[in-house]
Structure 1
Amino acid sequence: MRRSRRSWIVAGDLNGFFGLVVDNLSILGFIAAALIGIFGFPAEVVYTRMFPGTAFGVLVGNLIYTRMARRLAARSGREDVTAMPLGLDAPTSIGMALLVLGPAFVGFKQAGMDEAAAADATWKLGMASLIVMGALKFVLSFAGDAVTRLIPRAGLLGSIAGTALVLMGFLPLIETLRSPLVGFMTLGLLLYVLVAKGRLPIKLPGVFVAFVFGTVLFYGFGAAGLGAPGFQWPTPQPLQPVLPLPTLGFLEGLPYTVPYLPLLLPFGLLMVVGGINVSESARAAGDDYRTRDILLAEAFSTLIAGCVGGVAQTTPYIGQPAYKHMGARSGYTLLTGLFVGLGGMLGLISGLVQWLPLAVLAPIIVYVALDITTQAFQATPARHATAMVFGFLPPVAYMLSIKTGNPAWIDPARHAQLIGALDGHGLPELAVIVTLGNGFIMTSMIWTSAVAAMVDGRLRRAAAFLLGGAGLSLFGIIHSVDARGGVYLPWALEGLQRTIAWQFIGAYLGLAVLLGLLSLQRDPVPSAPAA
């Protein structure tokens, strides 16, 4: 039988292309704005070292997903197969900028490195971080179902939702309102088209319209003297083509990743869970992709990006059914991969990003944070809602520690001073805030999972999660008492550090024992009446 030739590009692919490209551009723009504008990172390193490799990972992943879609269409004989959308993951990419790369750059400079050396070390840390996350995703792609059975959905989604709401929602909201005339109007337009599902007088994707609208407002108001104080026209770096070549620089960065493992490992784990969820979503929409293939493709593209200088991991996006509804097939991922990948190499992406104001990018990130949090509640059983909200508190502690400058309250040299300042009510307040914030994603996962297990009447399972928390606290993977949030061997601690660490470890052990004893009762948690 003669096989029909399938078009590479259809009309709906253009709509999908605009939506997927804007998503990736907004994330790249926020990474650049955060590193350069907030942390003073050298722009040349961001645009000529970090971006080309990061964009190349998007190219590789989208080419693989395009090929998978065309193979599925050929195998099934269907013309309406839609490729899985792939791009930079918003929560972890923003988390990399705000929680890993930016603080690391500042820390390297405080340790005595000059700016160039600190930027180089930070870049290598970013590459190594992708290798760590990519390797974890590769291993877990063969055991993704086991992970989802072990950790309840509330624990997996709640931990990232808390991070999204507090760090991706609140901190970018502050940046939004630093230029309130532009930022608030842009955010309002996004909420109108994406939350209220309002109509626009032109038939273009809502995010794209808000993107252009906000940028025009920013420069228009700035030129008229009506913008926020301190408006300046950008002075873009000259376009510089850069070929992302393989480098072993990530090997030098691997030792730097150790203090950040409590962030990097959950980042990788959550992408595996996300990959499983989006595969199920695509299957429900009629495209039966093999979950393991989806996971292996995202792991491979992340590893490739790390090997050529990238600093942000790729992931399949949750909106595959939405792209199918737009009429997109496999051409939109091909176009996106080529535009982002080749644009990153030729300097075009860097040129575009340099003109994107933070006051326009930040509202998009705020909306993403709201959407992630909303989806987490919608996808989680209602009885676990309180457990999820409980898991939002550790990210609040981390945000407070960021805003207080992470003071050296826990340095052994200040032990006597802090002990003298104790008020008789317990540990120093700042010590508790920073200890609670360190490793906050895994802390949220454990807290939410334990409370969800309690709600389900599985007290021994809850106790097991708490024992896991005690084990992680023992080595500083969560609740690190190291001033930088790093991991350590417990017998190396001294003074107040040891006191705080064992207080937290004892808290987990004590509650685990208590729940174990309560589980000996007959029917310790009565079943809720049927609705």
Structure 2
Amino acid sequence: MNTPSKAPIFVSSDFNGFLGLLVDNLSVMAFLATALIGIFGFPADLIYTRMLPGTTLGVLLGNLAYFFMARRVAKRTGNVDTTAMPLGVDAPTSIGMALLVLGPAFLSYKQAGMDEHAAAIATWQLGMASLVVMGILKTVLSFFGPMVQRHVPRAGLLGSIAGIALVLMGFLPLLEIMKVPLVGFAGLGVVLYALVARGRMPWNLPGVLVAFVIGLLLYEVLGRIGWLGHGYHAMAAWQWRFALPWPTLQWVHGLPLTIPYLPLILPFGLLMVVGGINVTESARAAGDDYNTRDILLVEALATLVAGFCGGVAQTTPYIGQPAYRAMGARTGYVLITGLVVGLGGMLGYLSNLVEMLPLAVLAPILIFVAISITTQAFEATPTRYAGAVVFSFFPAIADMVVIKLGDPNYVPHEHFIALYNDASQGISELAVINVLGNGFIITSMIWASFVVAMIDGKPLRSACILVLGGVLTLFGVIHSVVPGGSLYLPWALDPTSRAIALQFAGAYLVLALVLAVLSLSRREGEGSLG
């Protein structure tokens, strides 16, 4: 029998855990790169030689730290079956960074007159600075995580991230799948069979790996015989991209650029803190007793290092630690994953995999993650709060609509602005959708929180939350009236925009007043009953 000090570094079932964790990371980075290149026309070379190496360095360091942390826990507890906490690139916020921050910023910089190279460098600097801001926030909040969790209801935290998952991680990748339905739908079906329906794969192979293989075979075979039409593109030629992620001060130049995006960046960091607390509790329930502060600090510092070295996507401990434990993975799988992902970013083979794999083959795993996150929002929240969770989805849906309408490939920029400014019937419908979507993560938290307070029979607390929403609206933290979603001082706006901002802020304050009156009448009613 093994003693704790002689617990094996690797066991055979670590390979299954390695494949699952590798594919998760690869899928997110592939979507990040493909979205920036395919949707926004971002230069591929900058992604593969600057952004990905820095991002993967954070994955390497974080997984190494979790490996040694797991070995220490195994030795302390005498449990040789301790499973390490998995760490990787966070899916919801990485996709959010691509679709809500980096891509739109790149287009806006070009529209402002920058040439493509200068706009790409500015976008990269913005991405690095965003990671540094999130890393600092997570480092500070790692000491106050439980306090944050107490003051923001779970329906608000999980509802806001589920909104991202549903429309950005789920619906948008589903569109990519259905662009090549002969390939994507088959891969999606295998993922749903293996991971949702818990069907058994031949020879106990990981379901994600089987879906990848089937998808690639269909893509290559059907594509070469012409059945995929314009949906088929020959795989890019293999090329070595040796790029060490050296520390750089380029992120300093990006700090001023983060200001318009703080309503997105700060909630991204906050969600990872709360998520880290939840996954640590999940691991503890499965039998592995990790220190919550240590788990949070490791991922915060990994994010900081990634930002300092050129990365643009934050790391996080993954939700599925009990799942990796159930498949037999122990400590070695995070060590292998960290080395393969980290070295892959530096030596270039990871960027080749990302470049070669079609999005229709990669997207199914993202849809599964979206389903899991959305399902968790309902399962981990008391049933009576389900309405609050659903209500928190609407701002994310509005933002998704704006993403599609704001794409110059769909609606020319001049036409978009004309529709936005059309005041023939009051506030234009496009302006309403845009204002509703701007700052949607914080909006979702506020909406779910005030509904939860209502459900709990606390109308005065609900009114206070609404007052906060009104104040944030005045300064564009939520419901920014600027199409790009930037912050502002209300008195500096033009008269039309200021009127819209005041109407939205006033809506919160009017409802707060109504609830305050209801609170007083409720107290009077309770007093008369006494």
Counterparts of 2:58 and 2:107, CA distance in 1: 27
Q: Between Structure 1 and Structure 2, how many residues are aligned?
A: 519
Of residues 394, 417, 422, the one that matches 1:418 is 422
Tell whether the 8 Å contact from 1:457 to 1:524 is kept in structure 2 after alignment.
no
CA shift in 2, pair 1:44/1:463, >3 Å: same
Partner-residue secondary structure (3-state), 1:522: helix
Extract unaligned runs of 5+ from structure 1. Answer: 527-531
Task: Tell me by how many angstroms 1:403 deviates.
Answer: 2.0
Tell whether the 8 Å contact from 1:409 to 1:430 is kept in structure 2 after alignment.
no
CA shift in 2, pair 1:410/1:243, >3 Å: closer
Could you say which residue in structure 2 is the equivalent of 1:529? none
Tell whether the 8 Å contact from 2:4 to 2:80 is kept in structure 1 after alignment.
no
Partner-residue secondary structure (3-state), 1:82: coil
Per-residue CA deviation, residues 162-204 of structure 1 (Å, 9 max, x unaligned), is 1211122111111110101111111111111111111222321
| 400-409 vs 230-239, which moves further | 400-409
Could you say which residue in structure 2 is the equivalent of 1:110? 111
Partner-residue secondary structure (3-state), 1:487: coil
Give the percent of matched residue pairs that are identical in Structure 1 and Structure 2: 63
Could you say which residue in structure 2 is the equivalent of 1:301? 302
RMSD: 1.9
Could you say which residue in structure 2 is the equivalent of 1:61? 62
Per-residue CA deviation, residues 11-56 of structure 1 (Å, 9 max, x unaligned), is 1211111110010011111111111111111111111111100000
Per-residue CA deviation, residues 442-470 of structure 1 (Å, 9 max, x unaligned), is 11110011101100101111111111111
Could you say which residue in structure 1 is the equivalent of 2:14? 13
Could you say which residue in structure 2 is the equivalent of 1:506? 506
| 281-290 vs 212-221, which moves further | 212-221
Determine whether 1:25 maps to 2:37: no
Could you say which residue in structure 2 is the equivalent of 1:353? 354
Tell whether the 8 Å contact from 1:44 to 1:237 is kept in structure 2 after alignment.
no
Task: Tell me by how many angstroms 1:110 deviates.
Answer: 0.9
Could you say which residue in structure 2 is the equivalent of 1:515? 515
Tell whether the 8 Å contact from 2:398 to 2:433 is kept in structure 1 after alignment.
yes
Kindly report which structure 2 residues correspond to 1:254-403, keeping only aligned pairs within 5 A, or say none. 254-403=255-404
CA shift in 2, pair 1:252/1:444, >3 Å: same
Tell me which amino acid in the other structure corresponds to 1:519.
Answer: S
Counterparts of 1:187 and 1:91, CA distance in 2: 19
Task: Tell me by how many angstroms 1:521 deviates.
Answer: 2.7
Tell me which amino acid in the other structure corresponds to 2:448.
Answer: T
Task: Tell me by how many angstroms 1:356 deviates.
Answer: 0.7
Determine whether 1:180 maps to 2:181: yes
Tell whether the 8 Å contact from 1:410 to 1:431 is kept in structure 2 after alignment.
no
Partner-residue secondary structure (3-state), 1:315: strand
Could you say which residue in structure 1 is the equivalent of 2:448? 448
Tell whether the 8 Å contact from 2:5 to 2:75 is kept in structure 1 after alignment.
no
Counterparts of 1:27 and 1:87, CA distance in 2: 9
Counterparts of 2:278 and 2:492, CA distance in 1: 41
Tell me which amino acid in the other structure corresponds to 1:169.
Answer: G
Partner-residue secondary structure (3-state), 1:34: helix
CA shift in 2, pair 1:55/1:15, >3 Å: same
Tell me which amino acid in the other structure corresponds to 1:506.
Answer: G
Task: Tell me by how many angstroms 1:418 deviates.
Answer: 3.3
Task: Tell me by how many angstroms 1:370 deviates.
Answer: 1.2
Partner-residue secondary structure (3-state), 1:445: helix
Counterparts of 2:524 and 2:393, CA distance in 1: 27
Counterparts of 1:45 and 1:349, CA distance in 2: 14
Kindly report which structure 2 residues correspond to 1:401-412, keeping only aligned pairs within 5 A, or say none. 401-405=402-406
Task: Tell me by how many angstroms 1:476 deviates.
Answer: 0.3
Tell me which amino acid in the other structure corresponds to 1:439.
Answer: G
Extract unaligned runs of 5+ from structure 2. Answer: 408-412
Counterparts of 1:414 and 1:285, CA distance in 2: 53
Task: Tell me by how many angstroms 1:89 deviates.
Answer: 0.7
Task: Tell me by how many angstroms 1:516 deviates.
Answer: 1.0
Per-residue CA deviation, residues 80-108 of structure 1 (Å, 9 max, x unaligned), is 11110000111001111111111111111
Counterparts of 1:324 and 1:448, CA distance in 2: 33
Task: Tell me by how many angstroms 1:524 deviates.
Answer: 9.4
Determine whether 1:471 maps to 2:471: yes
Tell me which amino acid in the other structure corresponds to 1:510.
Answer: V
Tell whether the 8 Å contact from 1:144 to 1:276 is kept in structure 2 after alignment.
yes
Task: Tell me by how many angstroms 1:320 deviates.
Answer: 0.8
Tell whether the 8 Å contact from 2:135 to 2:301 is kept in structure 1 after alignment.
yes
Task: Tell me by how many angstroms 1:525 deviates.
Answer: 11
Per-residue CA deviation, residues 112-169 of structure 1 (Å, 9 max, x unaligned), is 1111111111111111110011111111111111111101000000011112111221
Tell whether the 8 Å contact from 2:179 to 2:231 is kept in structure 1 after alignment.
no
Per-residue CA deviation, residues 273-321 of structure 1 (Å, 9 max, x unaligned), is 0000001001111111110111001100000000000010000011111
| 214-223 vs 274-283, which moves further | 214-223
Could you say which residue in structure 2 is the equivalent of 1:222? 223
Counterparts of 2:302 and 2:134, CA distance in 1: 11
| 168-177 vs 373-382, which moves further | 168-177
Tell me which amino acid in the other structure corresponds to 2:132.
Answer: I
Task: Tell me by how many angstroms 1:3 deviates.
Answer: 7.1
Tell whether the 8 Å contact from 2:178 to 2:184 is kept in structure 1 after alignment.
yes
Counterparts of 2:274 and 2:445, CA distance in 1: 13
Task: Tell me by how many angstroms 1:215 deviates.
Answer: 1.5
Q: TM-score, normalised by structure 1?
A: 0.95
Task: Tell me by how many angstroms 1:523 deviates.
Answer: 6.3
Could you say which residue in structure 2 is the equivalent of 1:245? 246
Could you say which residue in structure 2 is the equivalent of 1:131? 132
Task: Tell me by how many angstroms 1:323 deviates.
Answer: 1.1
Tell whether the 8 Å contact from 1:457 to 1:525 is kept in structure 2 after alignment.
no
Counterparts of 1:525 and 1:347, CA distance in 2: 70
Tell whether the 8 Å contact from 2:63 to 2:338 is kept in structure 1 after alignment.
yes
Task: Tell me by how many angstroms 1:229 deviates.
Answer: 2.1
Task: Tell me by how many angstroms 1:398 deviates.
Answer: 1.0
Task: Tell me by how many angstroms 1:236 deviates.
Answer: 3.7
Per-residue CA deviation, residues 210-231 of structure 1 (Å, 9 max, x unaligned), is 1121112111111111114252
Kindly report which structure 2 residues correspond to 1:470-489, keeping only aligned pairs within 5 A, or say none. 470-489=470-489
Per-residue CA deviation, residues 476-526 of structure 1 (Å, 9 max, x unaligned), is 010001121100111101211000000011111111111111111336999
CA shift in 2, pair 1:524/1:69, >3 Å: farther
Partner-residue secondary structure (3-state), 2:316: strand
CA shift in 2, pair 1:525/1:275, >3 Å: farther
Counterparts of 1:469 and 1:236, CA distance in 2: 51
Task: Tell me by how many angstroms 1:376 deviates.
Answer: 0.7
Partner-residue secondary structure (3-state), 2:82: coil
CA shift in 2, pair 1:525/1:241, >3 Å: farther
Could you say which residue in structure 1 is the equivalent of 2:410? none
The runs of 4+ residues in structure 1 deviating greater than 6 Å are 408-411, 523-526
Task: Tell me by how many angstroms 1:4 deviates.
Answer: 3.6
Kindly report which structure 2 residues correspond to 1:199-238, keeping only aligned pairs within 5 A, or say none. 199-236=200-237, 238=239
| 315-324 vs 200-209, which moves further | 200-209
